[in-house]
Chains A and B, each alone.
Chain A
Amino acid sequence: EVHLVESGGALVQPGGSLRLSCAASGFTFSNYAMNWVRQAPGKGLELVSAIRGSGGSTYYADSVKGRFTISRDNSQNALYLQMNSLRAEDTAVYYCAKDLGSWSGGIDYWGQGTLVTVSS
């Protein structure tokens, strides 16, 4: 059974940094692309970043490019999102989401989410 567990969400001041983690189990982690999707309070879903199974290709939304960095450790079945220069508009629940394929296959499983609040 696929299991994704996010951690690292917190209240942080504007301009601060945070590192989100996602622990994966129940599938061969290195074979699948992974995604971070966020949902601002009361709003819809937005893809923030994605990384190929090998880690060789990445995608960033324009709204986070240059501030966020996605990475993965296939030996630890772990996905990360380093978030720097945080802004109020980054406030959201952040979901770790498994891709159906190695790249651009869609999303089949989601974690429970971790809340990031950016506020002074």
Chain B
Amino acid sequence: AIQMTQSPSSLSASVGDRVTITCRASQGIRNDLGWYQQKPGKAPKLLIYDAYTLQSGVPSRFSGSASGTDFTLTISSLQPEDFATYYCLQDYNYPYTFGQGTKLEIK
């Protein structure tokens, strides 16, 4: 199975900060990667798919990028509602595999 290594596992930041979260795939997955936001007690929510494409309704402060097997989620200016846990997911093939998650906390 393809392994997704996500970093950092946790991150403290302030409202207005720019933050980046990274996932590295153990092999090439084209751009078959999504980013999800999960708040406590809730289901994950799709933010970005195909590495770059913003899901409908998601604020433009979220963006995704890719370089080889490295993928990045960037939040350009953190808002209070962005404090949550973020996961990447590779859907290049089955089994889909998730990153370990990044918990974004208020500094």
- B-contacting residues of A (Cβ < 8 Å)? 35, 44-47, 50, 59, 61, 95, 100, 104-113
Within the complex, what minimum Cβ distance (angstroms) separates A101 from chain B?
9
Q: How far is the CB of B25 from chain A (nearest CB, A)?
A: 14
Q: In the bound complex, how far is the Cα of B34 from the Cα of A95, in angstroms?
A: 17
**Per a CB cutoff under 8 Å, which of B87, B94, B97 touches A104?**
B94
A100–B34 Cα gap in the complex (Å)?
11
Please tell me if the beta carbons of A104 and B91 are within 8 angstroms of each other in the complex. Answer: yes
Given contacts A104-B91, A105-B91, A110-B44, contact A44 B98 (CB under 8 A): yes
A-B contact pairs, 12 of them (CB 8 A): A44-B87, A45-B44, A45-B87, A45-B89, A47-B95, A47-B98, A50-B96, A61-B95, A106-B96, A107-B96, A110-B45, A113-B43
With a CB–CB cut-off of 8 A, which chain B residues contact A50?
94, 96
Contact between A104 and B95 (Cβ–Cβ < 8 Å)?
no
B100 contacts A108, CB within 8 Å?
no
Whose C-beta in chain A lies nearest to the C-beta of B100?
Answer: A44
Q: What separation, in Å, do the CA atoms of A50 and B45 have in the docked complex?
A: 19
- Interface residues of A: mostly helix, strand, loop or mixed? strand
Q: Are B45 and A107 in contact (CB under 8 A)?
A: no
CB < 8 Å: which of A44, A45, A104, A106 contacts B49? A106
**Bound complex: CA A105 to CA B91 (Å):** 6
Chain A nearest CB, measured from B65 CB (Å): 17
Distance of B4 from chain A, by nearest CB (Å): 10
Q: Which residues of B contact A59 (CB under 8 A)?
A: 94-95
Inter-subunit contact A107/B101 (CB<8 Å): no
A107 to B36, CA, bound (A): 10
Which B residues are in CB contact (< 8 Å) with A46? Answer: 98
CA A47 to CA B43, docked complex, whole Å: 14
